[in-house]
Amino acid sequence: MNWNRVEGSWKLYKGKIKESWGKLTEDELYVINGRREQLVGRVQKDYRITDDTADASQSSSGNSSR
C-alpha cells in the first residue's frame, strides 16, 4: 500500500486503522488525516512503544508500504 493512496482515501482506511489501533480516538484519526508520521507518533504515545515497533506494526498490518 502506498501512503499517497492512504492519504487520498483516508476515510476508507480509518476503519482498518481503528481495528488495529483501538485506542485511537476519532479526534486523533481526524488530526492524523492519513499522514504516516502522525499515525506512528500517536501509536507510540497511546501504546507506549518505540518508533521501530510502531513502524513495523503498521507495515505488517498492511496499512503501509515503503
Domain around 37: 3-60
Q: Could you tell me if residue 7 is inside a domain? A: yes
Does this model's pTM top 0.85? My answer is no
Number of domains in the chain: 1
Range 49-55 average pLDDT: 73
Identify the pLDDT of residue 60. Answer: 58
Digit-coded pLDDT (tens) for 10-36: 988 899 899 999 999 999 999 999 999
User: Grid coordinates representing 46?
Assistant: 497511546
Asked whether the predicted pLDDT for residue 5 surpasses 90, the reply is no
Q: Could you tell me if residue 12 is inside a domain? A: yes
Distance, in Å, from the CA atom of 41 to the CA atom of 37, rounded to the nearest integer, reads: 6
Q: Could you tell me if residue 33 is inside a domain? A: yes
Identify the pLDDT of residue 64. Answer: 46
Query: Taking all residues of the chain, what is their mean pLDDT, rounded to a whole number?
Result: 82
Q: Could you tell me if residue 65 is inside a domain? A: no
Q: Could you tell me if residue 52 is inside a domain? A: yes
Range 1-7 average pLDDT: 80
Domain CATH code at residue 38: 1.10.1470.10
The DSSP-derived string for 27-40 is: HHHHHHTT-HHHHH
Q: Could you tell me if residue 66 is inside a domain? A: no
